[in-house]
C-alpha cells in the first residue's frame, strides 16, 4: 500500500487530526479492508517497509515466523491450521 504524502497536506486540519488519531490512512484502509472479508479466517500481508509494518501492527496484524509475512487471525484456529495457512501464503512469494 502506498499513501501519497500530498494527500495529508491537502486535508483540512480537522481531518488530518482525525486521520492521525486513527493511526493514519494506511492503518484505516487496512482495518476497513479486513472488516470486509466476511468469514475469512485470516488476512495476510507481505510487508518490508518499516512504516508499512507499523501501520499494519496498528491495524491488528502480527508477525509470523516468515520474513515479511504478517497476519490478522480472524477466527480461532488450531496451530496446525495456522501453520498450513502461513506456509501456503509464504509460498506465494511477495504479493
Q: Which long-range contacts (CB under 8 A, 24 or more apart) does 56-62 make?
A: 56/26, 56/27, 56/30, 58/23, 58/24, 58/27, 59/23, 59/26, 59/27, 59/30, 59/31, 59/34, 60/31, 60/34, 61/30
For the segment 39-92, what is each residue's pLDDT rounded down to a tens digit?
Answer: 999 999 999 999 999 999 999 999 999 999 999 999 999 999 999 999 999 999
What pLDDT is stored for residue 24 in this prediction? 93
Q: Give the global pTM.
A: 0.85
Average pLDDT over residues 30-37: 95
Amino acid at each position: 500500500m502506498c499513501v501519497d504524502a500530498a494527500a495529508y497536506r491537502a486535508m483540512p486540519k480537522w481531518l488530518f487530526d482525525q486521520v492521525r488519531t486513527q493511526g493514519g490512512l494506511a492503518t484505516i484502509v487496512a482495518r476497513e479492508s479486513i472488516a470486509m472479508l466476511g468469514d475469512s479466517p485470516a488476512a495476510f500481508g507481505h510487508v518490508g517497509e518499516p512504516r508499512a509494518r507499523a501501520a499494519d501492527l496498528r491495524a491488528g496484524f502480527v508477525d509470523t515466523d516468515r520474513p515479511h509475512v504478517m497476519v490478522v487471525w480472524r477466527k480461532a484456529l488450531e496451530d496446525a491450521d495456522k501453520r498450513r495457512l502461513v506456509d501456503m501464503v509464504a509460498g506465494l512469494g511477495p504479493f
